[in-house]
Amino acid sequence: MWKYIVVPAKGAIFVVDDLLQEFLIYLQVEKGLAKNTLVAYEHDLKKFISYLKQEKELALNEIDKNFLAAYFYFLRKRGDSPASTARELASLRGFFKFLCMEEYLETNPTIYIETPKLPQKLPRVLSEEEVERLLEIPQGIAPLTLRDRAMLELMYATGMRVSELVNLTIQQLNLDFAYVRCLGKGNKERIIPLGSQAVKSLQVYLEKGRPLLVKNPRETALFVNHHGRGITRQGFWKIIKQRAREAGIYKEITPHTLRHSFATHLLANGADLRSVQELLGHADVSTTQIYTHLTKNKLREIYLKTHPRA
């Protein structure tokens, strides 16, 4: 089986699979990317390498824009969505950029390939009234009920990512000064303030809920399951789905719904874009701007309903 590449920049022969592993280690150690992101990079690049081996036994330094164009045509013909194709191109760009940076290659052929234009997909959000109903659903003093209420309150109070929420430790929480230290993408830390309702729910959970759930006194996870271990993304997904049904909310809900709602409601009530960007942990403000479209749609809806000559 073909598996080698000749690299003129270093005048040697390298195993392409080894270069892929070196790139993944770089992403993990130097860039601090999350496990799910690393898995996506590996999946995309293994797919490309498989195509490379089956179609033409080319060295990486022999790949040009025409070969890449043929590869992406193959992906589209196979049925890959524009979003998948854009992600696969991003993975290839990162890989070839790394190979040039490490002097395995002299030129990066991906610079000639345009990113496919994607239709803007607005995230689904809950109305403020729906959020109120959802947050009021977990009632009672059962440990899991107290946990659910604290999780939902904290998610809506901070807008943090689900991965950030489920990975929180007790040490990251400061209820005396009402803030949480959140570790985001690339292990970048941000301080997020907490509202009074979130603080109250967390205090009750820490005093009367978590101690009854935790089996191991060394457990540091803030939110734990009924086994006393840290809750997972899937666990939170089940919680929000169940609680939404109990609240009579039947629209499609994902684990990020409260994050999207948090950002949209802040902007709708007068928060500036840069502040929301910082709270969400977005590296680029353009990522945050998608929520301004949602607030504009809401304003138009209100206008059409209330203006006498609309």
Please list the active-site residues: 161, 185, 256, 259, 282, 291
- Find the Cα–Cα–Cα–Cα dihedral 134, 137, 143, 146, rounded to 10°: 60
* Residue 145 token pair: 């009920």
Using CA atoms, how far apart are residues 245 and 237, in angstroms rounded to an integer? 13
Cβ contact 154:203 at 8 Å: no
Q: Which of 86, 81, 136 is nearest to 116 (CA)?
A: 86
Q: Which of 173, 162, 185 is nearest to 258 (CA)?
A: 162
Using CA atoms, how far apart are residues 262 and 279, in angstroms rounded to an integer? 10
Cβ contact 176:194 at 8 Å: no
Using CA atoms, how far apart are residues 5 and 60, in angstroms rounded to an integer? 6
Cβ contact 192:160 at 8 Å: yes
Query: What's the distance, CA 291 to chain centroid?
Result: 16
* Max Cα distance, the chain (Å): 76
Cβ contact 273:292 at 8 Å: yes
Cβ contact 10:99 at 8 Å: no
Cβ contact 144:118 at 8 Å: no
Beta pairing partners, 153: none
